[in-house]
A and B are shown apart, each in its own frame.
Chain A
Amino acid sequence: MAAVAKTYLINVVILVLLVLAVMLSLSWGAMPIPIGDVAVSLLQGVGLCDDISVDELYSGVIALVRLPRAITGVLVGASLGISGAAIQAIFRNPLAEPGIIGISAGASFMAALLIAFESALFMAFTDLFGHYLLALGAFSGAGVATWLVYRISLVDGRPHISTMLLAGIAINALAGALTGLISYLADEQQLRTITFWMLGSLGSASWETVTVLLPFVVLTVASLPFLAKPLNAFALGEQEAHLLGFKPTQVKRLVILLATLAVGASVAMTGVIGFVGLLVPHGIRMLGGADNRYVLPASAMLGALTLTVADLLSRVVAPPAELPIGVVTALLGTPLFLYILIRDKKKIV
């Protein structure tokens, strides 16, 4: 019972920190906005506090620029966190992450391809059509790569997890090589665009981004926690999960489908953001244990928090320039990951 109270507390703490981080990210930036004005203009957005006046410029910046960006960060972070936790559970491997089934590599390849050929097709990706074509291309790249990995892993019509791991590595390598080839052939400007895309950014986030992401993310974040029991049972082995009355094949298919939808849509909108899907579930398990009834929702929240903080840092470190968010998450994530490694090394002895 004490454990339940502890996980409840962890969730509350993360939620409070998330709200704080979102408020700060609305307040900080090239044009600082007092946090009180942020709160008021948010409340006015839901029809409260109409009697207090806020600078129209402030509320404009919040409504048109910072709020959609913050929400995009929350949605993408939640997708990466919860998908990472579920993928680690079906792979029975704490080093698995959504990228292992080819989502990011497939998306990167398609994005690089489109960027390299853009000059032949249309003017620039700064226009809306170009942006959506890039997103659509990246999403379908993610889908095709994952589908390939899944198909290759089928043994007697069922996904075989260690084969899937190897197929994932192979498809990742192939897509990586093709992306490299395109980068080699690309001109300076295209190369820069490809590089920035692969390092991830929330810079282009708008309300359209939020609208596109929302259904995918909500579907995944709302459904995966229902698989908590079978995903726990996977820790015993697929056969044991089957003996406990679950259907491992269906569970694996569902997890792969939901992760591909949410992470594929996220990657399509913001580029590749590494380490969140790998590290966030680890952090959650270190804090409050391995029960997926707690790990899945908490990973979604910590993922959202991590990405919000990373985006905040990427904007305030060297304004008005922005660091690529993938660089920030990796810079923050690597020391944490090494810490886990070193800590677990002590456990092995």
Chain B
Amino acid sequence: MISVENLTYTIKGQTLLRAVNFSIGDGELVALLGANGAGKSTLLKLMGGEKKPSSGCIRLAKKPLDRYLPLELARRRATMGQQHHVSVDFTVAEVVMMGRYPHYAAGPKTTDHRVVDETMAICGIAAFSDRSILSLSGGEQQRVHLARVLAQVWDQPGGVLLMDEPVSAMDVQYQHQTLAILRALADRGYVVVTVLHDINLAAHYAHRLILLKNGRKLHDGTPSEVLTERNIYSVFSMDAHVMVNPRSLKTNILPLGQRLEAHEFNSFLKTTLPNHWVAGQNIS
């Protein structure tokens, strides 16, 4: 269980999060949604202990986060960051084994090898365990980091997984597979918090959605409670049609799209362009 109490985060005079409150119980998969710059990643970093709150408190299993030693925290909370660049030519298996570093001192034990094998298998990367991570595609690399992060808390029931856009580079199959894994872990008692941009993916797998805007929590509830056309417009400034998927029976949204009118587009144009390039000029 992790609770966020009256959390505010200010840096260089900018308040990125204001008085955010919520609590997530064991066994919950929560998706954080919001526009770019809403404070989702900052919130996740604060929850993972990467940044310190300006005021307010975050508790993990009732104990304030700053009372944990880094190693103690690393054994029960794993964070998957947004960007990964491995600077050295490690093999896939070596990178995944790094997730086990908090659990052994000198050399990996049998458990560690087993966990690495299992997480590589579930993430579909066992076939390239001996290849250099730098030789993989972006989506494959992301799956390697997913396996590493899962390995970190794989044998820690009640562990916490904090995921920042974990599927941003993956194809649609692995997007769903990843969320299905996270959901299965939540159903086994893990606390899972994930930032997602795909609202439908969030609505399908999450128990609960938290919608942020400008550093404030705007909405918090189950997908069917939170995902109203009004709420979506308030958070994303986007018109959408909300429906129940007739096959999955999950809430789905269909964005209605946007159109940049000719006069709006032209108002951005400060460059001199050939006449027929200027929007509206050449359209009958």
Chain A interface (Cβ < 8 Å from any Cβ of B):
3, 89, 92-94, 229, 232-237, 239-240, 242-247, 285, 289-291, 347
Contacts and interface: CB of A to CB of B under 8 A. Distances in A.
Interface in B74-91: 74-75, 78-79, 81, 84-91
A188 to B, nearest CB: 46
Most B-side CB within 10 Å, residue of A93, A240, A246: A240
Contacts of B50: 239, 242-243
Contacts of A242: 50, 70
A232 B94 CA distance: 9
A232 B81 contact: no
10 contacts: A89-B88, A229-B101, A232-B101, A235-B90, A236-B98, A237-B85, A243-B81, A290-B89, A290-B90, A347-B134
A290 B94 contact: yes
B81 A245 contact: no
B26 to A, nearest CB: 21
A236 B79 contact: no
Given A233-B101, A245-B101, 10 more contacts: A94-B88, A232-B94, A233-B98, A235-B88, A236-B95, A237-B81, A243-B50, A245-B71, A289-B94, A290-B88
Nearest to A226: B106
B74 A244 contact: yes
A97 to B, nearest CB: 15
Interface in B55-80: 69-75, 78-79
B101 A243 contact: no
A155 to B, nearest CB: 13
Q: Shortest 8 CB-CB distances between A and B: which pairs?
A: A245-B74, A245-B71, A92-B87, A245-B102, A235-B88, A290-B88, A245-B70, A290-B90
Contacts of A93: 87
A237 B90 CA distance: 13
A245 B75 contact: yes
A20 B87 CA distance: 35
Contacts of B86: 235-236
A240 B73 CA distance: 13
Nearest to A245: B74
A291 B102 contact: no
Nearest to A348: B134
Given A244-B74, A246-B70, A291 B94 contact: yes
A94 B86 CA distance: 12
A93 B134 CA distance: 14
B48 interface: yes
B8 interface: no
Nearest to A93: B87
Contacts of B91: 3, 289-290
Contacts of B95: 236
Interface size class of chain B, counting residues whose CB lies under 8 Å from the partner chain = 20 to 34
B90 A244 contact: no
B23 to A, nearest CB: 22
A236 B79 CA distance: 12
Contacts of B89: 285, 289-290
B107 to A, nearest CB: 8
Contact of B87 (A235, A243, A246): A235
Contacts of B75: 245
A232 B70 contact: no
A237 B95 CA distance: 12
B152 interface: yes
Given A243-B48, A245-B70, A245-B73, A232 B98 contact: yes
Contacts of A244: 74, 98-99, 101-102, 152
A232 B86 CA distance: 10
B101 A236 contact: no
Contacts of A289: 89-91, 94
Contacts of A229: 101
Given A236-B98, A289-B94, A291-B94, A243 B78 contact: yes
Nearest to B71: A245
Interface string B239-278: 0000000000000000000000000000000000000000
Interface in B130-170: 130, 134-135, 152
A285 to B, nearest CB: 7
A245 B88 CA distance: 20
Chain B CB count within 10 A is highest, among A235, A247, A347, for A235
Nearest to B77: A243
B81 A239 contact: yes
B253 to A, nearest CB: 33
Contacts of B84: 236-237, 240
A92 B87 CA distance: 6
Contacts of A285: 88-89
Nearest to B86: A235
A49 to B, nearest CB: 39
Contacts of B101: 229, 232-233, 244-246
Contacts of B135: 347
A240 B87 CA distance: 12
A246 B70 CA distance: 7
A88 to B, nearest CB: 8
Nearest to B103: A245
A184 B104 CA distance: 57
Contacts of A233: 98, 101
A239 B89 CA distance: 19
B87 A247 contact: no
Contacts of A240: 81, 84
A232 B74 CA distance: 16
B149 to A, nearest CB: 9
A283 B73 CA distance: 37
Given A229-B101, A232-B98, A240-B81, A247 B70 contact: yes
Contacts of B74: 243-245
